[in-house]
A and B are shown apart, each in its own frame.
Chain A
């Protein structure tokens, strides 16, 4: 408002979002939405008043063009981003302070029965009301009066908010009004709307009444509005402002064309290449005419709109603009198809090029004509100008169509194939699981009872809930919390179970404690900050009196991860001391302990806990991480070598499996830990991972499924607790450069992958044998071994199935939401993360199977 009163700059823009917000939250029909609309009504009226008051010749706003438009529509529920008409179509209000635009506007789109130009203000509500939405409300009032014959049919814009409010649904349709224009009249088809309105008010038998407001405003035939053009024009002499409500489609009209049209008006270069769709728009004739009508004409005679010189000058101008427009679009298409990997097909390009050549040729012809015409009569070129416009329009329309098919549509066939593969893989998983189950049954008849156990059903339900929750974008956003909720539920049931059996209660309680810690960390991690500061914040929120920058708390925050690491080292040391690990595993575990020590030193150096001499600081950067990587690789290699050359001793296979698992985990852990940085929390978690496995091992009493489900949920929670989330900005790029300063694509990609998926995908897969190894202690050794490997096989299969199920539902969700506004912000990253995770998991399962499964 203040800026409207001041000297206007060349172009001003005000953006508001609250209406969109209100629509999202409360829906289109709701009271807050109506209030918001009315608020905008008032605002617009004020703006228009100010503009009108200064729109006299010589006034500040003599040449001002007011555009009010939405960037998208919305459904009745307030959603948008989809492909339906009500979402992609939006309305635009254009108001020029000049005399009305010439009627040759009407001539331009003669070919199409659906005009961009919907109605003028005089058409809608007479000339006595000011305000932008008065056109709307006046029309709605008119319809109200129409359907209630007894009521005095007077236009009272903005005076019946209830009617206005209750007809918001009609407003949506109003914006979709189908308007056709003949030479003598404009016809607005609102058959559907009016019939709906009549049905709603049970007035289907009513007869039309004529509004007293305006003789020219006839509501005839029940479904059509006809306004005599002559009367409109004659009356509009008295109207300073001219209203146009343009109906534009976003995809092929509104935003596409809007950008070029406005830039043509403002004399700016057309947008090129910054956004695909903005580069191929067509200068909208009506909008252009409206605005150029202002700027070109100084002494414009409304009563004689057909003035040939005016008309021709305008058309000439428009053709010039279209020529530049087309040339640019053609160039853009050429550049695009030259540089893009998957460009347009050849025949499409040929077709477009042919159209362009045709238009160019014709334009040359027209120019020749025009040159002739300069000497003689100019009327002759009018038809050719029109033809020229049609040609350019055809070219632009075909380019837009081509671009729409290529850029905005997905390859449904490939999507179907991918989905089919996922389904097939799930089916295959199920088949193999059942087959293995049968094998188990054959070898161990004792377990044949209660195949459909509570645990099986429950885990199926949990997996189903988790999978189905991916169909909602809210649940995708809150995936960590949802997984934690489900995990806690399984933990509770597990506690109940252990109380029922009166054993392992302590472990179950510890598991619950672990889950609550996980939950806490996830909540803190959601704030998109490092765990360090989150930890600080947490301690601050507990003890608000403590200064944030006080060195003591920094010190505590720095040292807690190290303490956790020491605790882990102690556990590992104990496992060596207990001689749980023998032979090569012992060396590997000691290597891990060494790595952990090194990590501690590294952190201490980084965090400036200790003031070190400069000599030591020289080393601090890269060497320690590299040593740790080297140790990790050496551990893995030695494990693989041992795997190759070991002789098969059947007696102690169980311990060997444990040793292998511990060795594998400890070989991986230092690398992952150092990459994950100082998030000391999940070192605790890693510790408790083992603890958990201790629970899992002895406690599984039903089929494997429930524990495997629990395990996979646990893995998901780990993903979120380690400060990741399913978006590309959730990747911790810093992790890729720990130990290396220079960029090397493959090396850094590997490091980043290990960081992202290390705790959530790699370690759980290698830790899975813990679930099985302690379970069965009956039977003879040989049989037991076979059974164990069958079980392990089954566990891996179930784990794969759980992953595949969730990924399949993610795929369904992404496929369904591919038109969603947030598809690139939310669904596509989720899809990529899930698919990469699934691939990695499957790969790791293969590696782990090679590693664990001895020759049977």
Chain B
């Protein structure tokens, strides 16, 4: 899936080892809860305020969702940025926003390679879907790690999360990607249901995967014990 591509876009750079803000399970819980509520509220707004839904107007709904979800994610994850002494909050937020289009490109390319339809008709759907996917997978890592190649490599290529914030980035992102992969499976079936159209079932899959990933991340942090990163690891 798409996760491998992300690394290409981030220039490798040296990482300064430094202390990391510790994240307690409570903070994890709050963060994931707010992210989940953000998604839910986005759906609520789409349904009740603009009276659009994912099946009928996928592009508009997806745009609403990512417009609401991306700032929440960026603002929240920027709090837990790496070496906060050298990197201000504003900078973390800025790089989060900067990462949004790049992640969208990576996700869109991945989707197209996997068989997403190309054409003017599908363009808005693909664009908004990939922006949403970027907000779910790419942006948190960008906010937290910036352009640190080794960290990206560790999270996405090696899948070796070490401390809490790693889990909080890694699991939901992988969940979203794997979820959208599975979400693509009903598409070829000949049921002729409207939700089998291109971005709809995939979006459902990715959101479901994202939620599962968040629950898993919280669960791991809660039950697996809080492993703090040892200095100089």
**Is A475 located at the chain interface by the 8 A CB criterion?**
yes
Binding site secondary structure of chain A = helix
A489-B1, A492-B1, A492-B2 known; A481+B188 contact, CB < 8 A: yes
A492-B4, A496-B157 known; A485+B115 contact, CB < 8 A: yes
Tell me whether B113 and A519 are in contact (CB under 8 A): yes
Tell me whether B153 and A499 are in contact (CB under 8 A): yes
Number of interface residues of B (CB under 8 A): 26
List of A residues within 8 angstroms of B181 by Cβ = 489
A487-526 Cβ-contact flags toward B at 8 Å (1 or 0): 0110111011001100001000100100110011001000
Complex Cα gap A477–B188 (Å): 9
Q: In angstroms, how far is the closest chain B Cβ from the Cβ of A536?
A: 16
**Is A31 located at the chain interface by the 8 A CB criterion?**
no
**Is A624 located at the chain interface by the 8 A CB criterion?**
no
Complex Cα gap A581–B117 (Å): 42
**Is B118 located at the chain interface by the 8 A CB criterion?**
yes
**Is A541 located at the chain interface by the 8 A CB criterion?**
yes
Q: Contact residues of B with A, CB < 8 Å?
A: 1-5, 7-8, 110, 112-115, 117-119, 153, 156-158, 181, 184, 188-192
A sample of 23 inter-chain contacts (CB < 8 A) reads: A25-B191, A25-B192, A472-B189, A474-B188, A474-B190, A475-B189, A478-B188, A485-B114, A485-B115, A488-B113, A488-B115, A489-B181, A491-B113, A492-B1, A492-B2, A492-B5, A496-B156, A496-B157, A499-B153, A500-B153, A505-B8, A512-B113, A520-B118
Complex Cα gap A334–B24 (Å): 88
Q: Beyond A485-B184, A496-B3, A499-B8: 16 further Cβ-contacts under 8 Å?
A: A473-B190, A474-B188, A475-B189, A481-B188, A484-B115, A485-B114, A489-B1, A489-B114, A489-B181, A492-B1, A492-B114, A495-B4, A496-B156, A499-B157, A509-B8, A516-B112
A216-229 Cβ-contact flags toward B at 8 Å (1 or 0): 00000000000000
List of A residues within 8 angstroms of B190 by Cβ = 473-474, 477
**Is A44 located at the chain interface by the 8 A CB criterion?**
no
Q: Contact residues of A with B, CB < 8 Å?
A: 25, 472-475, 477-478, 481-482, 484-485, 488-489, 491-493, 495-496, 499-500, 505, 509, 512, 515-516, 519-520, 523, 541
Tell me whether A541 and B119 are in contact (CB under 8 A): yes
Partner of B158 from A474, A475, A500, A516 at Cβ < 8 Å: A500
With a 10 A CB-CB cut-off, give which of A478, A482, A489, A492 has the most chain B CB atoms: A492
Q: In angstroms, how far is the closest chain A Cβ from the Cβ of B133?
A: 14
List of B residues within 8 angstroms of A512 by Cβ = 113
Q: In angstroms, how far is the closest chain B Cβ from the Cβ of A352?
A: 43
Complex Cα gap A83–B73 (Å): 55
Among residues of B, the one whose C-beta sits closest to the C-beta of A515 is: B113
List of A residues within 8 angstroms of B189 by Cβ = 472, 474-475
List of B residues within 8 angstroms of A475 by Cβ = 188-189
Q: In angstroms, how far is the closest chain A Cβ from the Cβ of B224?
A: 22
List of A residues within 8 angstroms of B156 by Cβ = 496
List of B residues within 8 angstroms of A499 by Cβ = 4, 7-8, 153, 157
List of A residues within 8 angstroms of B118 by Cβ = 520
Q: In angstroms, how far is the closest chain B Cβ from the Cβ of A507?
A: 13
List of B residues within 8 angstroms of A515 by Cβ = 113
List of A residues within 8 angstroms of B184 by Cβ = 485
Q: In angstroms, how far is the closest chain A Cβ from the Cβ of B141?
A: 15
Tell me whether B113 and A516 are in contact (CB under 8 A): yes
Among residues of B, the one whose C-beta sits closest to the C-beta of A501 is: B157
Tell me whether B4 and A496 are in contact (CB under 8 A): yes
Complex Cα gap A499–B10 (Å): 12
Complex Cα gap A633–B1 (Å): 44
Complex Cα gap A500–B157 (Å): 5
